[in-house]
């Protein structure tokens, strides 16, 4: 979600000292939609990786399955949202959830239709059956009434009995309609004959078959005959004495007015459309839908109400204007989830011509980029966003680079997670940047060891030098090292910076001394100065470290080495001007004197030792 | 579709001139005519005052956050001719550097891409642009471009860092050869592009289209294309989008985003440069996006009513 801040300013007034933090597309923060985002992510990835080699029917079946999976996730989310609405105490929250439920419901409605028309691309015959299923799934206002009548003791005596029969007929649920009709027949001997005839008509109604048992032409022929039979019954006045049954017969004949009369039982214009098609043109072809859709909507709304965004979208779908569907949905919906995933699916169905947007990208990618960008401002959903960017071949990487740098690295774990993602994708700049940020953070919190290991990982020589200096400073002040483990195990990364090398070697010196490997320690100490690994500022400390070695019972430094030490000391003191020497406190001067004395003594002892022949 | 998710009562005693969120959207820095700079922690819809920085002696015009790899650093510039760099050390914010080399109000500050080091560009009413580079150990080096804009410079904005040539990983410590550029806007109604050559800053381009003072310039982030994009806004109510198609930076062409009814104060790009926020004297902040046919369309507006809006900046804000 895009976030920004806006400063209120003006000539005084309450907003003059306020800053508003604003955000666009807040949906990703709705807790109950998390499931939608998480599970659809899995479906998305599966689709990207799915076998493209499957051709024809099997590929289509695969894509239809993916579409169904998306829809079931939407429905599951709707269910959760519904539960949340029920348990919400706060009326504002409750209504918010209810709104969400209706939005999700609309999304599922649209998606389902797109699945039928675009993904499955149901041909004439099958098309009507699918549309009937679609309508049946999305008419719920009548369900309670149906239940009520069916569960009553004497259904045919129920005042809503005929309403329910009508509902079944309108939805093409012939068997259920016939079942109810039989109840009427047994309850009312007067209408037995009429019921039998109507039942017969319903039984004989030809429907498109799923198998290949009949061709479309065959079906059309049968249907024509059946239609004529219904016509005869009506004209002969068979149902004249029962207005309900007569109206049903008219519906069977596809009489527009008779069907429209049952508006309240259909509730939507697209129900009306499908019912009309069922009873006037059941073998309708996909391309013919557009000739019916707008007209049915106009008739149904009848000038009383104007089309809502949902209606516009459905019309666009019936007219096979895919791009229009996507565009309208983008405008109406408050998040990119729907259009991004639907467009991606349609793209996999090879249905979208590539529209060259200004940046040369295509619609699929631009929607996915929008959606994934939105995920990035969420503290955990951003991880899903990474995968989406991965599947945007043109700008995904650039977008990922820009977004991933903005993820707050609150914890070490999170930083490591982000790093792993960058490393997997060879995003070296981002790796370096993140390591530097973590190093700086650690340093600010005085966690020198952590700062050092981050700067090594960042290959940041300058920072490593800075931190090494801090370590050394700490040592001088406290006489011991922190984070020994880290320093002891630097290995080749020691070479990152001279100061770091010195730190590592200096620690090694202490280790050797601790293990009483004095001559090795001595050699190392000397080397640190003569090879100029040690900074000049540290020489005094090193020489002071040499003191205990000089004071040992056993002579450690050789003549050569002693002369070297002396030279180092003289270099050090010579470097200071007289003024500096004067300003040095007594402690410094005493140290120098002690060193000179110790060195001289050592020299004396070692000359004697080296001058003495073995055994003599 | 734009909703207010947090209202921060800054308690500034006078007009707020700038409000900037940090890199992660966790902190908000504001500055005001009351001479103070304030920093708030705005995580999870909260607003905790972290620092109230005093040091300027006049209205503070802008604030800018440095890249987090340098620590928590904020720059501010003011009518008092000073640029102050503030840093958080041991949990407290302190002045770490003060630059007083301008002869007049300093109107704009902008940090360079972190790849170049810690460098701050400052634009002033004395017509000069100064570049302050941190060289280490508390030392800053100053380079000045005098007479960058006659009468005064109102805005500076850096171009994103793009390494010319191949993208082979450089050995540690070695800096790739970046070509540093930034854009500036001034009272001479011009937008200028500056390029560093052999350590010297030279005027590379003069972009003419505005008929009044340029108030803000914003160089769009890069998504890897060879094109460069700059947004500029002016006292003349116009916002232009300038694009340059070739990498050598020679031919810039302007496209008018919109002509507003009042002065436009600020322009600001989203992280991936697909949306531009514009704020102006007509009390609104509008968001703009380039459509399929290359035209810019307004996709949202934020109308905060009573007062005007003086700054809009974009970033991301994670909820923790």
Residues whose CB falls within 8 Å of the CB of residue B180, separated by 6 or more in sequence, listed in order: B112, B116, B158, B159, B195, B196
**Model pLDDT for residues A81-136, shown as the tens digit of each residue:** 999 999 989 998 899 899 999 999 999 999 999 999 999 999 999 999 999 999 99
Q: Which of A424, A367, A361 is nearest to A395 (CA)?
A: A361
Task: Calculate the CA dihedral of residues A383, A386, A387, A391 and round it to 10 degrees.
Answer: 170
Residue A614 has pLDDT above 80, yes or no: no
CB A504, CB A539: distance < 8 Å: no
Q: What angle do CA B57, B61, B67 make, to 5 degrees?
A: 110
pLDDT of residue A62: 93
Q: Residue A76 has which token pair?
A: 């599951």
Nearest to A399 by CA among A361, A441, A433: A361
Helix (H) or strand (E) holding A267: none
Residues of B in contact with A501 (CB under 8 A): none
pLDDT, one tens digit per residue, over A232-250 is 999 999 888 889 999 999 9
A-B CB pairs within 8 A amount to 207
Q: Among A344, A345, A364, A346, which Cα is nearest to A354's?
A: A364
What lies within 8 Å, CB to CB, of A271 at 6+ separation is A135, A139, A170, A171
Phi, psi (degrees; rounded to nearest 5) at B272: -105, 15
C-alpha to C-alpha distance for A376 and A400, rounded to whole angstroms: 9
- What band does A477 get if pLDDT is binned at 50, 70 and 90? confident
A438 vs A141: CA distance, rounded Å? 58
Across the interface, do B16 and A8 touch by the CB < 8 Å criterion?
yes
For tokens 């803000």, the residue is: B216
Burial bucket for residue B104 (CB in 10 Å: 0-12, 13-18, 19+):
middle
Closest alpha carbon within chain A to B292: A357
Q: pLDDT digits over A423-448, tens only?
A: 999 999 999 999 999 999 998 888 88
Counting beta carbons within 10 angstroms of the beta carbon of residue A38, is it exposed (0 to 12), middle (13 to 18) or buried (19 or more)?
middle
Asked if A428 reaches chain B (Cβ–Cβ under 8 Å), the answer is: yes
Domain range annotation of chain A? 134-284, 413-515, 535-615
Instruction: Give me the residue label for tokens 């695969």.
Output: A62
The per-residue pLDDT for B309 is 55
- What sign has the CA pseudo-torsion A67, A73, A74, A79? positive
Nearest-CB residue to B307 (from A9, A437, A440): A9
- Chain centroid offset of residue A139 CA: 32
Angle at the Cα of A325 (from A30 to B257), degrees rounded to 5?
80
- What does B273-310 look like in DSSP terms, one character per residue? SSEEEEEETTSEEEEEEE-TTS-EEEEEEEE-TTSEEE
**N- to C-terminal Cα separation, chain B:** 23
Closest-CA residue in chain B for A411? B320
pLDDT tens, residue order, chain B (320 aa): 677 888 899 999 988 999 999 999 899 999 999 999 999 999 888 899 999 999 999 999 999 999 999 999 999 999 999 999 999 988 899 999 999 999 999 999 999 999 999 999 999 999 999 999 999 889 999 999 999 999 999 999 999 997 655 445 555 445 667 889 999 999 999 999 999 999 899 999 999 999 999 999 999 999 888 889 999 999 999 999 999 987 666 889 999 999 999 999 999 999 998 899 998 877 788 999 988 677 899 988 776 544 445 566 666 554 43
Average confidence score pLDDT of chain A: 88
B295/chain A closest Cα distance in angstroms: 9
Please, which residues bridge with residue B183 across strands?
B157, B193
pLDDT mean over A406-418:
92
Q: How far is residue A35's CA from residue A304's CA, in Å, rounded to a whole number?
A: 39
Among B5, B89, B308, the residue with its CB nearest the CB of A9 is: B308
Closest chain B residue by Cα to residue A330: B299
Give the residue on B whose Cα is nearest the Cα of A426.
Answer: B169
Chain A residues near residue B90 by CB distance under 8 angstroms: 444
Quick check: A376 contacting B, CB < 8 Å? yes
Contact assessment for residue B69 and residue A455, using Cβ atoms and an 8 Å cutoff: no
Amino acid A359: pLDDT: 37
**Which pLDDT score, from 0 to 100, does residue A417 have?**
95
Q: Are the C-beta atoms of B310 and A1 separated by less than 8 Å?
A: no
Q: A34 to chain B: which residues are within 8 Å by CB?
A: none
Q: Do B309 and A22 touch (CB under 8 A)?
A: no
- Residue B41's DSSP bridge partners are B27, B48
Report chain A residues whose CB lies below 8 A from the CB of B69.
433, 436-437, 440
| Pick among B42, B48, B69 to test the A interface (most A CBs inside 10 A) | B69
Average pLDDT for A543-555? 84
Tell me which of A10, A12, A13, A19 to substitute to probe the interface with B (most B C-beta atoms closer than 10 Å).
Answer: A19
Residues of B in contact with A4 (CB under 8 A): 21, 268, 277, 285, 312-315
CB–CB contact B173 A462 (8 Å): yes
Poorest-pLDDT segment among A352-356, A462-466, A511-515, A607-611: A352-356
Question: How many other CB atoms are found less than 10 A from the CB of residue A585?
Answer: 7
Structure confidence at residue B307 (pLDDT): 41
Q: Tell me phi and psi for residue B58, to 5 degrees.
A: -155, 180
- Alpha carbon distance A564, B124 (integer Å): 58
- Contact across the interface for B72 and A444, Cβ inside 8 Å: yes
What single DSSP character describes residue A250? Answer: H
On whether the CB atoms of residues B278 and B305 are closer than 8 A, the answer is no
Contact B194, B184 (CB under 8 A): yes
Interface contact A377-B68, CB threshold 8 A: no
Question: CB B316 to CB A406 under 8 A?
Answer: yes
Percent of chain A clearing pLDDT 70 (strictly above): 93
Please, which residues have CB within 8 angstroms of residue A215's CB and are 6 or more apart in sequence?
A: none
Residues from chain A contacting residue B72 (CB–CB below 8 Å)? 444
Q: Which residues of A touch B30 (CB under 8 A)?
A: 7, 19
Top-confidence residue, A169 or A191 = A169
User: CB–CB of A4 and B26 under 8 A?
Assistant: no
| B19 contact residues in A (CB cutoff 8 A) | 5-7, 19
Q: Which helix (H) or strand (E) holds B268?
A: strand B264-269
Query: How buried is residue A213: exposed, middle or buried, by Cβ count under 10 Å (0-12/13-18/19+)?
Result: exposed
């Amino acid at each position: 979600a895009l976030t920004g801040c806006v400063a209120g300013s003006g000539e005084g007034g309450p907003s003059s000292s306020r800053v508003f933090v604003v955000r666009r597309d807040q949906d990703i923060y709705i807790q109950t939609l998390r499931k939608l985002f998480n599970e659809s992510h899995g479906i998305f990835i599966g689709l990207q990786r799915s076998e493209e080699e499957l051709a024809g029917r099997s590929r289509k079946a695969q894509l239809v399955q993916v579409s169904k999976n998306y829809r079931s996730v939407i429905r599951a989310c709707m269910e959760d949202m519904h539960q949340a609405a029920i348990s919400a105490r706060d009326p504002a929250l409750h209504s918010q959830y209810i709104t969400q439920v209706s939005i999700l419901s609309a999304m599922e409605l649209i998606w389902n239709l797109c699945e039928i028309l675009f993904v499955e691309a149901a041909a004439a015959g099958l098309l009507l059956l699918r549309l009937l299923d679609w309508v049946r799934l999305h008419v719920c206002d009548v369900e309670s009434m149906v239940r009520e009548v069916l569960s009553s003791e004497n259904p045919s005596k129920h005042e809503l009995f005929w309403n329910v029969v009508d509902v079944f007929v309108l939805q093409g649920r012939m068997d259920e309609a016939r079942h109810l009709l039989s109840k009427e027949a047994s309850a009312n001997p007067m209408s037995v004959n009429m019921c039998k005839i109507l039942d017969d008509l319903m039984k004989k109604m030809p429907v498109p078959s799923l198998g290949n048992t009949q061709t479309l032409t065959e079906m059309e022929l049968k249907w024509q005959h059946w239609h004529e039979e219904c016509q005869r019954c009506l004209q002969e006045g068979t149902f004249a004495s029962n207005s309900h049954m007569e109206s049903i017969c008219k519906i069977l004949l596809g009489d527009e007015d008779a069907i429209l009369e049952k508006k309240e039982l259909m509730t939507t214009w697209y129900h009306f459309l499908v019912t009309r098609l069922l009873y006037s043109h059941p073998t309708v072809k996909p391309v013919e839908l557009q000739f019916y859709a707008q007209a049915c909507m106009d008739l149904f709304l009848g000038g009383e109400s104007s089309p809502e965004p949902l209606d516009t979208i459905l019309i666009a779908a019936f007219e096979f204007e895919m791009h229009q569907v996507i565009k309208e949905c983008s405008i109406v919906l408050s998040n990119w989830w729907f259009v991004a995933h639907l467009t991606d699916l349609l793209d996999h169905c090879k249905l979208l011509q590539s529209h060259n947007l200004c940046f040369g990208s295509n619609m699929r990618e631009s929607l996915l980029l929008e959606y994934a960008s939105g995920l990035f401002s969420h503290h955990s959903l951003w991880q899903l966003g990474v995968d989406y960017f991965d599947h945007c071949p043109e700008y995904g990487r650039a977008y990922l680079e820009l977004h991933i740098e903005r993820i707050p690295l609150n914890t070490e774990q999170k930083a490591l997670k982000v790093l792993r993602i960058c490393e997997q994708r060879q995003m070296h700049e981002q790796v370096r940047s993140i390591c530097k940020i973590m190093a700086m953070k650690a340093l600010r919190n005085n966690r020198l060891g952590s700062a050092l290991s981050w700067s090594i990982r960042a290959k940041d020589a300058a920072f490593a030098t800075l931190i090494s200096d801090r370590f050394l400073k700490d040592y001088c002040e406290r006489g011991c090292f922190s984070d020994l483990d880290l320093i002891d195990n630097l290995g080749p990364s020691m070479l990152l910076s001279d100061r770091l090398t010195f730190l590592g070697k200096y620690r090694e010196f202490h280790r050797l001394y601790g293990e009483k490997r004095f001559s090795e320690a001595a050699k190392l100490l000397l080397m640190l100065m003569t090879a100029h690994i040690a900074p000049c500022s540290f020489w005094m400390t090193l020489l002071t470290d040499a003191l205990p070695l000089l004071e040992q019972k056993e002579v450690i430094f050789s003549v050569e080495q002693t002369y070297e030490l002396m030279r180092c000391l003289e270099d050090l003191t010579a470097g200071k001007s007289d003024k500096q020497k004067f300003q040095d406190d007594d402690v410094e001067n005493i140290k120098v004197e002690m060193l000179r004395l110790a060195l001289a003594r050592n020299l004396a002892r070692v000359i004697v030792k080296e001058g003495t022949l073995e055994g003599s | 579709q734009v909703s207010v998710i947090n209202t921060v009562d800054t308690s500034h005693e006078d007009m707020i001139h700038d409000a900037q969120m940090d890199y992660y959207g966790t902190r908000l820095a504001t500055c005001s005519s009351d001479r103070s700079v304030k920093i708030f922690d705005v995580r999870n819809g909260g607003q905790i005052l972290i620092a109230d920085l005093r040091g300027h002696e006049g209205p503070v015009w802008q604030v800018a956050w440095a890249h987090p790899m340098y620590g928590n650093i904020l720059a501010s510039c003011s009518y008092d001719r000073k640029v102050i760099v503030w840093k958080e050390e041991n949990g407290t914010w302190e002045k770490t550097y003060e630059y007083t080399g301008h002869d007049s109000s300093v109107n704009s500050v902008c940090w360079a891409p972190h790849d170049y080091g810690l460098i701050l560009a400052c634009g002033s009413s004395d017509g000069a642009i100064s570049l302050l580079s941190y060289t280490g150990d508390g030392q800053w080096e100053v380079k000045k471009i005098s007479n960058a804009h006659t009468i005064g410079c109102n805005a500076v904005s850096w171009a994103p860092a793009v390494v010319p040539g191949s993208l082979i990983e450089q050995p540690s410590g070695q800096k790739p050869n970046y070509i540093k550029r930034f854009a500036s806007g001034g009272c001479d109604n011009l937008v200028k592009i500056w390029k560093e050559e052999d350590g010297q800053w030279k005027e590379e381009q003069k972009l003419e289209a505005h008929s009044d003072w340029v108030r803000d310039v914003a160089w769009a982030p890069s998504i890897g294309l060879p094109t460069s994009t700059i947004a500029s806004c002016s006292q003349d109510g116009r916002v232009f989008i300038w694009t340059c198609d070739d990498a050598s930076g020679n031919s810039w062409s302007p496209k008018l985003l919109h002509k507003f009814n009042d002065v436009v104060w600020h322009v600001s790009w989203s992280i991936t440069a697909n949306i531009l926020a514009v704020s102006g004297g007509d009390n609104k902040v509008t968001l703009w996006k380039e459509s399929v046919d290359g035209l810019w369309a307004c996709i949202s507006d934020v109308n905060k009513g009573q007062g005007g809006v003086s700054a809009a900046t974009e970033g991301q804000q994670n909820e923790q």
